[in-house]
Structure 1
Amino acid sequence: MTKLNKFFSCVLLLGLAIGFSGAACQKKAPETSNEETKEESVASPKENPTSAVTQEVIVPEDVGPEAPAIFMMTGLKGYTEPCGCTLDVMLGGIDRIVRYVEEAQKLMPASVLVDGGDVLFEYKKYDEEQIPQEKARVEVIVSGLKRLKPLFTVPGPRDMALGTEFYTTKIQEAGVAPRALNMKIDGTQLEGAFIHELGDQKIAFVPVAQPSLYEGIEGIEVQDLDLSGVIAELRPKADALILAAHGDLAWVKNTLKTYPEFDFGLVGHDPRQTDSADQVGDAFTLEPYDQGRYVGILKLYPKGEGRFTNARSGSKSELEAIDTQIAHVEKSIERLPPATPGEESPMLANLRNRLNDLEKRKTEIRNAKIDVPEGSPSFLWQSVGMLPGYRIDSEMEKVRKAYNRSLKELNLSVDREIVPVPEGEPEYIGSAQCATCHADAMTFWQKTAHAKAIKTLEDRDKDFDHSCVGCHVVGYEKPGGSVLGKLEYSATITGKDPSMKMEITKELENVGCENCHGPGSFHRFQPVGENGPQYIKKGSGVETCMECHVPEHSPRFNYDVYVREITGEGHQLSPQ
């Protein structure tokens, strides 16, 4: 089971992305009609679990003096829409990205979009029964790429999950050129560095790949870098020299140190969530966050002598003071019990509002202090969060929704067998069986978010999505547990003593008792021994929760707070 699978989060918290969205601007995209604004400002409950909160429509804006712009994406990873587990990760969606980029590009005198790779898949390998859904998902991404029209993409290792031939076919179908001067795919050398005329600017792109990331991938050969000749040729002809790397931050920084002639380095592999451009010598790193949650925009002002400087000159001391306050508020939020929007305590609501105000203030300071000098080159970099308030493209929305609706038929066409139970081992039985003895615990559980885990997927047509289901059910792909399409079924279970048998209906929907306590068949027959309860895990630690509450999808997970929200009478809060 992949780590993308996740428990339905017990908490819905406001996202931090507002601070990255850009505020003080010179041009805005045209406003829509009142009818359209009304329709898109309130999310449908079936599409958006945050719908208890009305979303204010956000219009793309252009920050700073007019200049051509380079839009940047990386690590889309096949995400057609936000994860949706918590408000912290409700950013993105291919339909939102398409509309945002198309509207924002209209504000620029000239623009182009480039992609840093890992655009098709989240993982480097998939099980055979997962492949039909992944292929269908790629079709949605291809539709989006046709609209976005990237100038090029640097192939990432995850892109090769279904093989080099599949990748090459789909990227060509999308009309995107794969480039990396040190990469061969199936023996064919990819196109490399080139100069692109962007308005009155000449931008030299040097697409490269980090060799260590591609080890063991059949059909991929990545050579060590030797960029001296390329740089010597391009540097005198270009206003800016950009390293477009599918590499991690450390590798990109090292490459910029090795070749100080570069002005910028795009971090294509696992970028951080940051709106800052780290300076490396005279160069800067650029990190648009992955999964389609952020789109980066680089504007260049190359006139004058010398190297590029960052035109954002917000007070460092004031920004640091705000960051300190933000960290304090975030810690306070993490200490409070989780709550869904509209049900939070007054204190939690106030803290959320305070956090929003601080993030907005941070953005105002950064954007108000823009200094584009007359006699030396400078740049503006923004990492724009794809917030729910940005409008979505209706045609791409249709494609995405059709994909979601197809998942049930698609995945039920794949025959999935329940994982056999090894001899002498217990199996999963479902929370309804536990309730025969633990009625009070069941009553409490039914009031928790865990008891509604599968409904959150049903509301979004995701209950047959293999990348979601596993952390919304009991015993997914484990011996005697559940698989996609078989969450409720009849079975004969046995006790520790094989002569003990019982016919039951396993009800394995939702996050239930056995997610924490382990498979309960032996315990069902002989719940108590000489030393008390037996054949069951008495406690469950943070490691169990973290199988699904990973930082990527549950960024504010706090075990000490969360565990008290899901454990009622008869439970011990500390692991044993």
Structure 2
Amino acid sequence: MGFWRTRSHRLRARRSDSPRAPSAPRPWLLVGVAALAAGAALIGAPGCKRGSSPPAPAAPVPSLRIYALGGAAGAIEPCGCVKDMLGGVDHAAAFLSQQRKSGVGSLLVGAGPMLFADPTIPPAQRTQALFKADTMARSLKDLGLVAWAPGANDWALGEAELARLRTESGAALLAGNLSGATAGARAAQVVEVGGHKVGLVGVSLPDVRGAGVEGIQVQSAEEALRAGHAQVTAEGADLVVALVAAHRGTALRLAESARGYQLVVVGKGYDQGEANDPPFPPSVIGDALVVQAPNHLQGVGVVDLYVRDGSYRFADGSGLALEEERSSLDRRIEELEARLSEWQRNGASSEEIEARRKDLAELRARRARLAEPSQPTAGSYFRYELVQVRESLGADAQVAKRLEAYYKRVNEHNREAFADAKPPPVPEGQSGYVGVEQCSTCHEAARKFWDGTPHAQAYVTLEREHKQFNLDCVSCHVTGYDKPGGSTVTHVEGLEAVQCENCHGPGSRHVANPTDKTLIRRVPDQGMCASACHHPPHVADDWQVSDAWPKILGPGHGR
């Protein structure tokens, strides 16, 4: 298997090369599963009839498979307004459940913070954050997580809560270089997978911009990796996997110094905010494959290990040496596809479009000549792929039910806990928010147009999914959130949905004196859309305000 080189690499490699719009859905096909299914079909097929072509050789079956997670950081599902977004613990669970039907012995491990989005949580948000961490921990158990090297976020609500959540997850915390309030983290363990003993050794450097975690003492990660390797080897491990929660550069240096490991799984030492990481390229350092899945459950790393003649020294079966050139061509192809689509929309000349299509065809031909790696002829080898977690993978029913219960639980709690939350008062001489009904008395045509836009349904979508009192969601679905004279998580009457004043500013003084045009923002700054809500990961990476702007213009509203 190859691996996920850009967001669209695997799509391009496995689908036709027909041009596409940049925002088109990008379903992922895991080639290993298809190959295993094809091999199983061949094994179970009846004998060939005389004169028929001989069957194709069955695809080799891995000796064992290791799935790797980067820090999920409490991201139980993606939040945004585009289809088939990256992430979702219910989709990851569906993928892993389907994978395990192949019969290949496997285990799931991780590195980096799993439970909370940030290392520190404001007091008002702690109950909701704990509800979410409960949901994540139980879902990690459904995924089959065996162990992870924790990140600083995992201690966000203290050692006792981490210890409880670790028990809920059913997974071990591995961090041999930590002492103190470790929530029961240990150095290493050995698990048996498909007849192979796998040693797991974990280290963590949970520093947040130079500040450590209260109650945690951090010792040498390099020494802990050496000691952990010795421990699992003495316990009979056939191969050894390091789980490293640290800054990527530090993790790669540790991989260079730690000998005897066949696989190093990397995750962040801490995470913060909602930004999604780009995919990280795998590499081979010494004899070890080093992989890092991106945060927020955007992807699952899949390492297939093919053991031959009892050797646990694995050659590269993924062609990583050619990866830089492949990745460069993939990026250029994607950029040119996007530009072609834009030129066609903007009415570029047919000659210019045809010339760029020829350029695109040449790039695709060069990419095709870089053959996918072939199976090594001798010795053990690995293959690696990073699988995008998307809605198109399906949803595990039990995890999906748990997510729904979480949202209902949060709604019920926050409705009461924030019942008295009011917005800041309006300073003297400034405007407060009045709501769309007031605007409609003069701007009837604009109101009629707005009623037909998705912005008018923004709050209804939250109500339908039991999210209208969710602190993670409501701010982008109401008007004037947490602004003077505006709305709060519960104080929303008359300000539900994305109304006029989100773009044109609070309108109380304009309503009182409609002839004074300086009291309202007639033409909003387009940049406010991206800065407020329409930014990754809530929208696709290639989303542009200029493309969306025409959709909010209509009779009485810019036209």
Query: Could you tell me the TM-score, scaled by structure 2's length?
Result: 0.75
Which of 450, 453, 459 is equivalent to 2:455? 450
* Structure 1, 164-173 or 262-271: larger mean CA deviation: 262-271
Q: Determine the structure 1 residue equivalent to 2:388.
A: 385
User: Could you tell me how far 1:84 is from its partner in structure 2?
Assistant: 5.0
Map 1:96-495 onto structure 2 (within 5 A). 96-186=91-181, 190-213=185-208, 215-227=211-223, 229-230=226-227, 233=230, 239-259=238-258, 262-269=261-268, 272-274=277-279, 276-280=281-285, 282-303=287-308, 308-313=314-319, 321-332=329-340, 369-375=373-379, 377-415=380-418, 416-424=420-428, 425-488=430-493
1:203-251 Cα distance to aligned partner (Å, 9 max, x none): 3333112243372533333334332742773697755443311223333
Matched residue type, 2:382:
F
Q: Determine the structure 1 residue equivalent to 2:26.
A: 16
User: Could you tell me how far 1:267 is from its partner in structure 2?
Assistant: 2.4
Contact 1:272 1:287 in 2 (8 A): no
User: Could you tell me how far 1:272 is from its partner in structure 2?
Assistant: 4.0
User: Could you tell me how far 1:94 is from its partner in structure 2?
Assistant: 2.9
Contact 1:466 1:484 in 2 (8 A): yes
User: Could you tell me how far 1:474 is from its partner in structure 2?
Assistant: 0.9
Contact 2:112 2:266 in 1 (8 A): no
Matched residue type, 2:463:
E
Assess, with a 3 A threshold, how the Cα gap between structure 1 residues 180 and 235 changes in structure 2: closer, same or farther: closer
In structure 1, distance between residues paired with 2:248 and 2:452: 44
Assess, with a 3 A threshold, how the Cα gap between structure 1 residues 385 and 448 changes in structure 2: closer, same or farther: same
Assess, with a 3 A threshold, how the Cα gap between structure 1 residues 127 and 80 changes in structure 2: closer, same or farther: same
Does residue 563 of the first structure (1) align with residue 549 of the second (2)?
yes
Assess, with a 3 A threshold, how the Cα gap between structure 1 residues 374 and 23 changes in structure 2: closer, same or farther: same
Tell me the SS of whatever aligns to 2:147. coil
Matched residue type, 1:440:
A
In structure 1, distance between residues paired with 2:371 and 2:191: 28
In structure 1, distance between residues paired with 2:29 and 2:333: 14
User: Could you tell me how far 1:512 is from its partner in structure 2?
Assistant: 1.9
Structure 2 unmatched ranges of 5 or more: 1-20, 42-57, 346-363
1:13-55 Cα distance to aligned partner (Å, 9 max, x none): 4343526675651237999xxxxxxxxxxxxxxxxxxxxxxxx
User: Could you tell me how far 1:414 is from its partner in structure 2?
Assistant: 0.8
User: Could you tell me how far 1:141 is from its partner in structure 2?
Assistant: 2.2
Contact 2:265 2:292 in 1 (8 A): yes
Matched residue type, 1:68:
L
* Structure 1, 550-559 or 321-330: larger mean CA deviation: 321-330
User: Could you tell me how far 1:273 is from its partner in structure 2?
Assistant: 4.1
* Structure 1, 164-173 or 328-337: larger mean CA deviation: 328-337
Contact 2:201 2:229 in 1 (8 A): no
1:352-374 Cα distance to aligned partner (Å, 9 max, x none): xxxxxxxx999999996441341
Matched residue type, 2:378:
E
Assess, with a 3 A threshold, how the Cα gap between structure 1 residues 399 and 522 changes in structure 2: closer, same or farther: same
User: Could you tell me how far 1:527 is from its partner in structure 2?
Assistant: 4.1
Matched residue type, 1:326:
E
Which of 532, 536, 550 is equivalent to 1:551? 536
Contact 2:151 2:205 in 1 (8 A): no
Map 1:531-546 onto structure 2 (within 5 A). 532-534=517-519, 536=521, 538-546=523-531
Identity level (%): 27
* Structure 1, 462-471 or 439-448: larger mean CA deviation: 439-448
Matched residue type, 1:407:
V
Matched residue type, 1:85:
C
Matched residue type, 2:216:
I
Computed over aligned residues only, the root mean square deviation of the Cα atoms, in angstroms, reads: 3.9
Contact 2:421 2:490 in 1 (8 A): no
Assess, with a 3 A threshold, how the Cα gap between structure 1 residues 28 and 511 changes in structure 2: closer, same or farther: farther
In structure 1, distance between residues paired with 2:472 and 2:370: 38
Q: Determine the structure 2 residue equivalent to 1:67.
A: 63
* Structure 1, 381-390 or 216-225: larger mean CA deviation: 216-225
User: Could you tell me how far 1:187 is from its partner in structure 2?
Assistant: 6.5
Contact 1:272 1:289 in 2 (8 A): yes
Assess, with a 3 A threshold, how the Cα gap between structure 1 residues 102 and 461 changes in structure 2: closer, same or farther: same
In structure 1, distance between residues paired with 2:507 and 2:125: 28
Query: Could you tell me the TM-score, scaled by structure 1's length?
Result: 0.73
Assess, with a 3 A threshold, how the Cα gap between structure 1 residues 545 and 109 changes in structure 2: closer, same or farther: closer
Q: Determine the structure 2 residue equivalent to 1:52.
A: none
Tell me the SS of whatever aligns to 2:35. coil
Matched residue type, 2:545:
Y
Q: Determine the structure 2 residue equivalent to 1:80.
A: 76
Assess, with a 3 A threshold, how the Cα gap between structure 1 residues 431 and 212 changes in structure 2: closer, same or farther: same
Assess, with a 3 A threshold, how the Cα gap between structure 1 residues 174 and 312 changes in structure 2: closer, same or farther: closer
1:375-417 Cα distance to aligned partner (Å, 9 max, x none): 3x42111222233333433333332222333333222121341
User: Could you tell me how far 1:172 is from its partner in structure 2?
Assistant: 1.8
Assess, with a 3 A threshold, how the Cα gap between structure 1 residues 229 and 311 changes in structure 2: closer, same or farther: closer
Assess, with a 3 A threshold, how the Cα gap between structure 1 residues 64 and 554 changes in structure 2: closer, same or farther: farther
Structure 1 unmatched ranges of 5 or more: 1-10, 32-61, 338-359, 489-506
Matched residue type, 1:207:
G
User: Could you tell me how far 1:552 is from its partner in structure 2?
Assistant: 1.6
Assess, with a 3 A threshold, how the Cα gap between structure 1 residues 275 and 535 changes in structure 2: closer, same or farther: closer
Matched residue type, 1:434:
C
In structure 2, distance between residues paired with 1:298 and 1:508: 50
User: Could you tell me how far 1:185 is from its partner in structure 2?
Assistant: 4.8
Tell me the SS of whatever aligns to 1:467. coil
Q: Determine the structure 1 residue equivalent to 2:497.
A: 510
